[in-house]
Amino acid sequence: MLEIKDLEPWLPPEAIELYASRGYRELYPPQAEAVERGLLDGKSMLLAMPTASGKTLLAELAMLRAALSGRRSLYIVPLRALASEKYDSFQKFKELGVAVGISTGDLDKKDERLGRNQIIIATSEKADSLMRNGASWVRDLSVLVVDEIHLLNDPGRGPTLEMTITKLRRCNPALQIIGLSATVANSGEIASWLEADMVCSDWRPIQLREGIICNERLVFSDGEFPLAGGKDESSALVRDTLAQSAQILIFENSRKNAEAAASRLSALIVPDDATRELSSRILASGESETASRLASCVSHGVAFHHAGLLPEQRRLVEQGFRQSRIKVIASTPTLAAGLNLPARRVLIRSYKRYEYGRGMAPIPVIEYRQMAGRAGRPGLDPYGESFLLAKNDAEMKELFEHYINGSPEEIWSKLASQSALRTHILSTIAAGFARSDPELKAFMATTFYAQQQDSWQLDVTVEKVVQFLKENSMISDAEEALLPSKLGSLVSKLYIDPLSAVIMLEALKRKRAEKSMGQAEGKPSQFTSALDLSRAASKAPTELGLIHLITMTPNMDLLYVQSADGWVEEFIDQHQSELYDEDNYDYLLREAKTAAMLMDWIGEVNENQIASRYRIGPGDIRRTAETAQWLMHSLAELSKHLDLGITFKAEQLAERIHYGASQDLLGLLNLKGIGRVRARKLYLSGITSLEKLKAADQAGISRLLGPRIAERIFHQLKKEENLP
């Protein structure tokens, strides 16, 4: 067995002491195997190991060794929440003089400041954008860690992750790559692509018992036990778990079911001072009914968790669970995607979920493994248990065969689609990775897709995308050279789909063009000149018009229109002259609903009213607004580049979407702690600018906003005055 102290050939004594002081004594068997096979000597490695088997520690050790040798590492994660979790965890390295940075925000910034850190954490989208925007430190990486590398299989995130890894390998030929994943069927293929050794193990530090609940029984492969408590088997399992002073995660297939389960189970636990205090903090985090429902559940030691919550609300729930204040979380599967939140027991209430075009479909085995793997807390639980629910013995047998005893699916590249390749081929050319057709083909030949499959389909798609980019003046149409135009370089740096740029520019042109310019027919035409576009935009669009314009792009996730949304058609009729032409009426309905929500948001409609009217959560409002701000900013930059005459209006709209506020509040909103609600209070009391706020009496502001907020505001104002 390899002990922590045995790592002295690779790490200095103070680093070993850091881990020893945190309770690390010896490495788990798969960890020891990775070290013995050269992980700390710079070998690339794919670590295909179950949850809680110590993959992250191995990545930490490799990055720490690099940092203490003056080299830099990048840790890629799929989610912002996971980036924040890792950032907090890696703060311990400060004791060793190692600086840790995080970047998940603006996708058109270089973030050169990140280069001051030895360890940098970023999402794959942010890492991709850093290369597009020419961050110099990206070409000086020594170690790349890719968490949840099996997401190469994801149609949404997979292509970006694949191209990011491909580009980073091209930038840094000697790069050590460490891929982390739960066991996947074709992990050898991924390892081969990465030119990495593979450590594949099913070892866990504590036993995971996987079972099925059927007819009031807990059935395992080696026996069964009665589950007392009646026909509501999920409630019975929760009661049994609480009786053991343990915690349980319940995975539901929808937000509605997660919230309903949490509300139902709240009756099982009596509130105490700790849960009441956490409940009050959640209640203070938002003004929506969702926050009220969550706070009510949390006061009983139960919570729900899904993407409709605000990040702060999700953070408080996760923190409460880690501190054992919360005993039960009912969650959608998003919680299984990498967050370190283990429990004694896991219940997967439904192994089916709704998929567009398929109806209710069984979840993949790899997703089941992700959820079941949350069972069992190393060092705290003697074992972990996960359960599926079955209606009868026949279904139980099927679930045993498919999920518990079955193999996870193979991972397949999702790169060969035009929608995925448009943005990535443009960025590949704009960043200088390929300057000709042969160079582009050679570059694409190094992708995971090319490793897995015959490249003819990819070649055909690449040719179509290159032709699209040429037709729309984003790359040169020279015989041999593939060079980005100024427009192409800008679109790449803005991190938008080139089709989004085409849609926005062509819609502006069609809407405002003079009759003499005629109408484009068929596929989008080339942009004739900045002068023509300037004329086309001579009649300035309204705020609603510009907001509708950005909802027409493939980058915008649109709200769904439901049977109760009859008002959307009336909205379209009332604002027909402001809206842009949309051939697909179903899309128009969704675009109009999304645009109406954003208009309410910048019109300072109460967040609770927005959530109720559009049947979305506060997290959805903020996420939609964040995307809309990015697209509106992109539209402003395109307008500036092509002199379209809408730059100032689009810039102001982007700022208003960011804050969810009317234009008259923008002067007050740059101060931390002043959101749209507090800014409106100040404005209505006569404080309409920063100058008036500076001249105001602090006692009066304290009465209006509260003493803590007032103190923070005046501290900021004094700090700004003292700046050189």
What does the pLDDT look like over 589-627, one tens digit per residue?
A: 999 999 999 999 999 999 999 999 999 999 999 999 999
- CATH (residue range 4-200): 3.40.50.300
Provide the token pair at 613: 């009217």
How are beta strands 119-123 and 100-103 bridged, if at all? parallel
pLDDT digits (tens, 9 = 90+) for 85-94: 899 999 999 9
Tell me how far apart the alpha carbons of residues 659 and 676 are, in angstroms, rounded to a whole number. Answer: 6
In this structure, how many other beta carbons lie within 10 angstroms of the beta carbon of residue 436?
Answer: 15
Q: How far is CA 630 from CA 83, 237, 559, 633, in A?
A: 20, 45, 17, 5
570 secondary structure, DSSP code: H
CATH match for 663-721 among 1.10.150.20, 3.40.50.620, 1.10.1370.30, 2.40.50.100: 1.10.150.20
480 secondary structure, DSSP code: S
pLDDT digits (tens, 9 = 90+) for 163-193: 999 999 999 999 999 999 987 889 999 999 9
- pLDDT bracket for residue 320 (50, 70, 90): very high
Tell me how far apart the alpha carbons of residues 173 and 662 are, in angstroms, rounded to a whole number. Answer: 50
Mean pLDDT value of segment 93-110: 83
The pLDDT of residue 534 is: 44
The pLDDT of residue 512 is: 66
Residue type at 176 in one-letter notation: Q
Provide the token pair at 259: 């919230």
- Which of 222-231, 297-306, 385-394, 527-536 is predicted least confidently? 527-536
Task: Specify the residue for token string 């009317």.
Answer: 662
Say whether pLDDT at 517 is over 60. no
CA diameter of the chain: 81
Tell me how far apart the alpha carbons of residues 368 and 407 are, in angstroms, rounded to a whole number. Answer: 11
- Which of 19-28, 141-150, 561-570, 712-721 is predicted least confidently? 712-721
Yes or no: say if 646 and 639 are a contact pair by the CB < 8 Å rule.
yes
Say whether pLDDT at 337 is over 90. no
- Which of 329-333, 360-364, 713-717 is predicted least confidently? 713-717
Tell me how far apart the alpha carbons of residues 56 and 309 are, in angstroms, rounded to a whole number. Answer: 27
Say whether pLDDT at 466 is over 90. yes
In this structure, how many other beta carbons lie within 10 angstroms of the beta carbon of residue 357?
Answer: 5
Yes or no: say if 185 and 408 are a contact pair by the CB < 8 Å rule.
yes
The pLDDT of residue 515 is: 35
In this structure, how many other beta carbons lie within 10 angstroms of the beta carbon of residue 359?
Answer: 9
Provide the token pair at 301: 């030691």
In this structure, how many other beta carbons lie within 10 angstroms of the beta carbon of residue 256?
Answer: 13
Domain regions of the chain by residue span = 4-200, 208-404, 415-483, 496-634+653-660, 663-721
Say whether pLDDT at 537 is over 60. no
The pLDDT of residue 135 is: 87
Yes or no: say if 277 and 323 are a contact pair by the CB < 8 Å rule.
no
Tell me how far apart the alpha carbons of residues 25 and 20 are, in angstroms, rounded to a whole number. Answer: 6
Provide the token pair at 552: 């027409």
Say whether pLDDT at 525 is over 70. no
Tell me how far apart the alpha carbons of residues 156 and 172 are, in angstroms, rounded to a whole number. Answer: 26
401 secondary structure, DSSP code: I
Yes or no: say if 672 and 712 are a contact pair by the CB < 8 Å rule.
yes
Residues whose CB is less than 8 angstroms from the CB of residue 204 and which lie 6 or more positions away in sequence, other chains included: 50, 52, 53, 376
Yes or no: say if 202 and 424 are a contact pair by the CB < 8 Å rule.
no
* Residue 265 exposed, middle or buried by CB count within 10 Å (0-12, 13-18, 19+): buried
The pLDDT of residue 529 is: 47
HSE (side-chain half, CA atoms, 13 Å) at 414: 16
- pLDDT bracket for residue 110 (50, 70, 90): low
How are beta strands 217-220 and 208-213 bridged, if at all? antiparallel
* Residue 185 exposed, middle or buried by CB count within 10 Å (0-12, 13-18, 19+): middle
Cα end-to-end distance, the chain, whole Å: 59
Compare 554 and 336 and report the one with higher pLDDT.
Answer: 554
User: Could you give the 3-state DSSP secondary structure of residue 3?
Assistant: strand
Say whether pLDDT at 57 is over 50. yes
Tell me how far apart the alpha carbons of residues 714 and 494 are, in angstroms, rounded to a whole number. Answer: 36
Q: How much of the chain, in percent, has pLDDT values that exceed 90?
A: 73
Question: Considering Cα of 159, then 162, then 163, then 164, what sign does the dihedral take?
Answer: positive
In this structure, how many other beta carbons lie within 10 angstroms of the beta carbon of residue 132?
Answer: 24
- Do 4-200 and 208-404 fold alike per CATH? yes
Say whether pLDDT at 530 is over 60. no
Q: How far is CA 132 from CA 90, 124, 528, in A?
A: 27, 12, 26
- Nearest partner of 193 among 140, 152, 227, judged by Cα: 152
- CATH (residue range 415-483): 1.10.10.10
φ, ψ for residue 176 (rounded to 5)? -85, 125
- pLDDT bracket for residue 520 (50, 70, 90): very low
Mean pLDDT value of segment 547-551: 98
Tell me how far apart the alpha carbons of residues 550 and 413 are, in angstroms, rounded to a whole number. Answer: 29
φ, ψ for residue 203 (rounded to 5)? -70, 140
Mean pLDDT value of segment 56-84: 94
Residue type at 392 in one-letter notation: N
Residue 232 zone, left/alpha/beta (φ > 0; ψ -120 to 50; rest): beta
CB burial readout 304-319, b (16+ within 10 A) else e:
bbbebbbebbbebbbe
Provide the token pair at 712: 């923070």
- pLDDT bracket for residue 61 (50, 70, 90): very high
The pLDDT of residue 533 is: 47
Find the DSSP H helices in 271-392. 273-283, 289-298, 311-322, 365-372
- CATH (residue range 208-404): 3.40.50.300
Tell me how far apart the alpha carbons of residues 117 and 608 are, in angstroms, rounded to a whole number. Answer: 41
Report the CATH fold assignment for 496-634+653-660: Sec63 N-terminal domain-like fold (1.10.3380)
- pLDDT bracket for residue 279 (50, 70, 90): very high
- Which of 59-68, 128-137, 495-504, 594-603 is predicted least confidently? 128-137
The pLDDT of residue 724 is: 47
- pLDDT bracket for residue 106 (50, 70, 90): low
- Which of 486-500, 544-558, 697-711 is predicted least confidently? 697-711
Say whether pLDDT at 96 is over 50. yes
Tell me how far apart the alpha carbons of residues 289 and 286 are, in angstroms, rounded to a whole number. Answer: 9
Q: How much of the chain, in percent, has pLDDT values that exceed 70?
A: 94
pLDDT digits (tens, 9 = 90+) for 441-455: 999 999 999 999 887
Tell me how far apart the alpha carbons of residues 146 and 291 are, in angstroms, rounded to a whole number. Answer: 34
- Nearest partner of 637 among 493, 437, 470, judged by Cα: 493
φ, ψ for residue 249 (rounded to 5)? -105, 130
What's the whole-number average pLDDT of the chain? 90
The pLDDT of residue 82 is: 87
